[in-house]
Every structure is written in C-alpha cells, then in structure tokens.
Amino acid sequence: MKNICELLGIEYPLIQGGMANVATAQLAAAVSNAGALGLIGAGGYDTEWVRNEIRKCRLMTDKPFGVNIMLMSPHAENIAHMVVEEGVKVVTTGAGSPGKYMELWKQAGIIVIPVVPSVALAIRMERQGADAIVAEGTESGGHIGELTTMAIIPQICDAVKIPVIAAGGIADQRGVLAAFALGAKGVQVGTVLLATQECPIHENYKQKVIQAKDTDTIVTGRGTGAPVRVLKNRMAVEYVRLSSEGIGLEELEKLTLGSLRRAVFDGDLDSGSFMAGQIAGLVKEIKPVSEVIKSLFDHVDDYRKQLEVIK
Ligand code: TUI
C-alpha cells in the first residue's frame, strides 16, 4: 500500500481542512508550497468562483493541491463535474456522502478522499472506490459528527484497508503522534492553520482563535441535524439558548444566515460564526504556514520508528 506522501506527491503526510470561506487559493498554495496538501474549500461558493480559485492556485504553486466539495451546497453537483474539466488531481468531500460522483471521479483518475464521521460511512466509501479516508472527530470545528477522534480513528482503521487520515483536535506534534499511534497514516488540520499569516480571514478571527481557552467552543444546530462547532460569542450562545427553548427552525436560521461570512470577512465578534475546533486553546500565536507544518513533524519520524516496534 502506498503511503500518503507517495499517494499525493507531498513531503509531509498532512492535508489542510477544506474550511468554507477560508480555504482560498492563497491558503491552499501556502500549504502546498510548505510540502503538505493544500485544499481549496468550495464551501457554498458557485462553480465559477471555485474554478477561478483553482486557476489562481496553479499560478501560486507548482505542487499538488486539491479541492474540498461541501456536499450540502446547492452547487456541489456542478462543482463535481467542473473539477474533472479542470483536471483537479485530488478531491475531498464533507457534510454528506459523495457516492454518486465516485465513478465519474475515478474514471477521471482523481484521487478521492471523503471525510467521514463513522465506521459505516468509511466502509461504504472504501467499497465505492475511495483512495483514502479522513476520519474526523467531533473535536473539529465546523460541521461535525458524534464520535471523538480517540474513539473513531482505531475503529475506522480496523474496518478499512485504505489509509486513514485523522482529523479533529490536532494542532501540535503530540496530536500528530497520537494519530499515528491510533493507526492513522496522516493528519488533517484546520484550526491551527487559522492562526497563520497566509490565512485570508479577518484579524479579529485570528485573535479570537489565539485567545480561546479549552472550553471556549460550543455546538450550534444540534437539534437541526447539522451540528456546527464555533467559538462562543453572543450569537452562538443565544442560538443554543433559543433552540433549547424549542424556537422554530426558521427563526434559528435567521440568526445564522450569512454568519460565517460575517466572521471571516467582517470580523463581526458579536454575530459571526467563528468555526474552530476544541484544540483552539492550544494555539497561541500567529505564524507562517511553513513554520506550523514543519513544527508539527519535528522529530515525528524518530517516534514513528518506536511505534512500529510497539505494533
Ligand atoms: O464538512 C465538514 N465540516 C464543515 S462543512 C461546513 S459548511 C456548513 N456550514 C453550516 C452547516 C453545515 C455545513 C463547515 N464545516 N466536515 C466533514 C464532515 N462530514 N463532518 C461530518 C460529515 C459528514 C456527515 C454526514 C459526512 C457524511 C455524512 O453522511 C451522511 C450520509 O450518509 O449521507
């Protein structure tokens, strides 16, 4: 079995999270230039926006990069076809099952890496031809599943033969090593990349991440079937309070409509959705992307050799 670096043509076994509204060509190119796999996050953007970012990214890096398709988007179907036209090499998916696009992508020679929150979905994805799986724990920011990284990684590793990439709660060397110890072959990180110089988000968002402590995230939308982890603020706390009082979905949606954009572009600390994972408390300074990625793997190879002995 090829390892993640050979599969993707990268130096560090790390994939950037496909963060909606955050993962632009600028961030993806910075991550790819640092030797990991950068991703353009399609989020809720339309097909032409994503196509344009792919073309921009090609001008900013000659290293491999991919596209993350958020399957709840009304543009997902169009984007799924566009990535084939554009000759994208790697596709990751989130917030749904990419089953109906799998054959199209495999025929086009695209490496497909679905992000999944459960063993059942991992098995289904492997059967449908996925090349690897990102197993994402509930510690992650944004749209999340129920299981923790600690519980989901070894269970998915035992259930599938394709390589498993761990996500959720990883922001330093210790997290990377823990992921390897649980059987993962690589990691995906998001939160730690929010606090980088190249990350194209409002300065208030970066400050909110580096000031966060362990208990500063909260999950909105648990009752609506789309739980989303964000940093606490007036809007998020009010959302959770109103939903526990049984307020209608329509009212709740009014509160969150456009809220991610208000966080990313306006830095609106009161009513923005500052998506971030539970590991935000560990992230203390804003650094260049290359420094973050390099430091995540400092001495990791030495420990990995010891892990081989333990297994
Ligand atoms: O997708 C993510 N994280 C995201 S997507 C996003 S944009 C958004 N904003 C507000 C509401 C909803 C989305 C922000 N963060 N992570 C990967 C992930 N995928 N987490 C959970 C899942 C998932 C859930 C259900 C994957 C597949 C799935 O399948 C259900 C089924 O069987 O169809």
Write out pLDDT tens, residues 123-141: 999 999 999 999 999 999 9
Residue 307 has pLDDT above 70, yes or no: no
* Confidence (pLDDT) at 190: 98
Q: Is the dihedral of CA 181, 183, 187, 191 positive or negative?
A: negative
pLDDT on residue 300: 79
| Atom from ligand 1 closest to the CA of residue 43 | 7
| Nearest alpha carbon, ligand 1 atom 8 | 143
| Residue nearest atom 13 in ligand 1 by C-alpha distance | 143
pLDDT the model gives residue 64: 98
Residue where the block lists tokens 């970012």: 53
Residue 18 to residue 201: CA distance in whole angstroms? 14
In angstroms, what is the span from residue 230 Cα to ligand 1's centroid? 14
30 lines ligand 1 (CB under 6 A): no
The residue to which tokens 């929010």 are assigned:
194
- What is the Cα–Cα distance from 204 to 186, expressed in whole angstroms? 30
C-alpha count within 13 angstroms, C-beta hemisphere, residue 297: 17
Q: Quote the pLDDT of residue 209.
A: 98
CA of 94 to the centre of ligand 1 (A): 5
Examine the pLDDT at 311 and tell me if it is beyond 60. Answer: no
In short, whether 187's Cβ falls inside 6 Å of ligand 1 is: no
Q: Is the distance from the beta carbon of residue 153 to the nearest atom of ligand 1 less than 6 Å?
A: no
Q: What is the mean pLDDT of residues 247-253?
A: 84
Structural domains in the chain, CATH included, are 9-200+285-310 (3.20.20.70), 203-280 (no CATH)
Residue-wise pLDDT for 270-302, tens only, equals 999 999 999 999 999 999 999 999 999 997 777
pLDDT by residue (tens digit) across 167-220?
A: 999 999 999 999 999 999 999 999 999 999 999 999 999 999 999 999 999 999
Q: Are 167 and 137 in contact (CB under 8 A)?
A: yes
Residue pLDDT, tens place only, 68-115? 999 999 999 999 999 999 999 999 999 999 999 999 999 999 999 999
For residue 216 and ligand 1, the question of a CB distance below 6 A is answered with no
Task: Output the pLDDT for position 141.
Answer: 98
User: Does pLDDT of 229 surpass 60?
Assistant: yes
Give 266 Cα–ligand 1 centroid separation in angstroms: 24
Q: Determine whether the shortest distance from the Cβ of 151 to ligand 1 is under 6 A.
A: no
* Greater pLDDT, 44 or 302: 44
Predicted pLDDT at 276? 98
**How high is the pLDDT of residue 310?**
58
61 lines ligand 1 (CB under 6 A): no
Read off φ and ψ for residue 170, nearest 5 degrees.
Answer: -110, 120
Q: The pTM is what?
A: 0.96
Contacts 24+ apart (CB under 8 A), 225-229: 226/72, 226/95, 226/143, 227/143, 227/144, 228/142, 228/143, 228/144, 228/273, 228/275, 229/138, 229/140, 229/141, 229/142, 229/144, 229/275, 229/276, 229/277, 229/278
For the Cβ of 198 lying below 6 angstroms from any atom of ligand 1, the answer is no
Note whether 136 and 112 are within 8 A (CB). no
Per the CB < 8 A criterion, the answer to whether 153 and 176 are in contact is no
Question: pLDDT band at residue 223, thresholds of 50, 70 and 90?
Answer: confident
pLDDT number for residue 184:
98
pLDDT average, residue stretch 23-29? 98
Which of the listed residues 143, 144, 255 should we mutate to test ligand 1's pocket, taking the one with most ligand atoms within 8 A of CB?
A: 143
Residues 6+ apart with CB under 8 A from 165: 4, 13, 15, 113, 132, 133, 134, 135, 184, 185, 186, 187, 188
Kindly give the distance from the C-alpha atom of residue 258 to the centroid of ligand 1, in angstroms, as a whole number: 17
How far is it between the farthest Cα atoms of the chain? 56
Is the pLDDT at 1 greater than 80? The verdict is no
Could you give the angle at which helices 173-181 and 149-159 cross, rounded to 10 degrees? Answer: 40
Does position 236 have pLDDT exceeding 90, yes or no? yes
Mean residue pLDDT across the chain: 95
Question: Ligand 1 in contact with 97 (CB < 6 A)?
Answer: yes
CA of 116 to the centre of ligand 1 (A): 8
CA nearest neighbour of 116 among 59, 159, 75: 159
Pairwise pLDDT comparison (298 vs 2), residue with the higher score: 298
